Amino acid sequence: MKIRMGFITNSSSTNFLIISKEELTEEYLFEKLGFIKDGMLEKQGRELCRSIIYALDGGLRYHNYEIPDYESIKKVFGEKSARL
């Protein structure tokens, strides 16, 4: 049996894709994610929306494609994603 002392990380991560015809603002995202103004989770919802839009590690990337097709998806996300 091995015992490790010190900092242990979890290698799993989560990614998601938000597709919208409108510009993603904090207010627009808050509404589309189903949060309610003056609701019990408003504070947490707004914090989540700010984190998505203003993330320090790149966060929001905006690409303006009228209709996403194989080539545009391949250009932005790579061939493997385009094939899916």
pLDDT per position as a tens digit, 4-56: 555 556 656 666 677 777 778 889 999 999 999 999 999 999 999 888 888 75
- The residues, ordered by sequence, that sit 6+ positions from 63 with a Cβ below 8 Å of its Cβ are 72, 76
Total domains present in the chain: 1
Helices (runs of H) and strands (runs of E) counted in the chain? 4, 0
Range of the domain at 67: 26-83
Q: Is the pTM of the predicted complex or chain greater than 0.75? A: no
12 in a structural domain: no
- Per-residue DSSP letter, 31: H
Report if residue 34 sits inside a domain.
Answer: yes
Residues 6+ apart with CB under 8 A from 38: none
Let me know if residue 8 belongs to a domain: no
Q: Does position 2 have pLDDT exceeding 70, yes or no?
A: no
Domain assignment present for residue 1? The answer is no
Q: Evaluate whether residue 35 is within a structural domain.
A: yes
